[in-house]
Amino acid sequence: GAGVSQSPRYKVAKRGQDVALRCDPISGHVSLFWYQQALGQGPEFLTYFQNEAQLDKSGLPSDRFFAERPEGSVSTLKIQRTQQEDSAVYLCASLISTTLANTGELFFGEGSRLTVL
């Protein structure tokens, strides 16, 4: 696609519900990142995929958070038993290259704003 696409743009969940957030990266982009952004803060790293392999999940705040990218393209971030502190904007980004020394630009989607009541 032309850009990184995320859905839903807005999600309201009751505490304890499970949610799934989808990211469709730019076609051909090998690397995919999930970030969490609280109001007034910079994005915080959650997890990183290279194709279908999840190479780094050190930023996932708890075992309630799970991400997958089974075919190396679309990715889903799942949050189980949502809590109020999970309320944030979840941003997905993709990058064309895996080479650290000379990467292209990181491109972001519009984000999914999650509100947990």
Partner 1 sequence: KQEVTQIPAALSVPEGENLVLNCSFTDSAIYNLQWFRQDPGKGLTSLLLIQSSQREQTSGRLNASLDKSSGRSTLYIAASQPGDSATYLCAVRPGNQFYFGTGTSLTVIP
State how far the alpha carbon of 59 is from the alpha carbons of 1, 33, 56, 102, 117, in Å: 27, 11, 8, 24, 24
User: For partner 1, which stretch binds (CB under 8 A), given 15-23, 41-49, 67-75, 76-84?
Assistant: 41-49
Of residues 73, 74, 54, the one with CA closest to residue 65:
54
Q: Judged by CB under 8 A, does residue 101 bind partner 1?
A: yes
Residue type, 8: P
25 binds partner 1 (CB under 8 A): no
Shorter beta-carbon distance to partner 1: residue 10 or 81: 10
Interface residue list for partner 1 (CB under 8 A): 4, 6, 33, 35, 40-45, 48, 55-56, 59, 91, 93, 100-111, 113
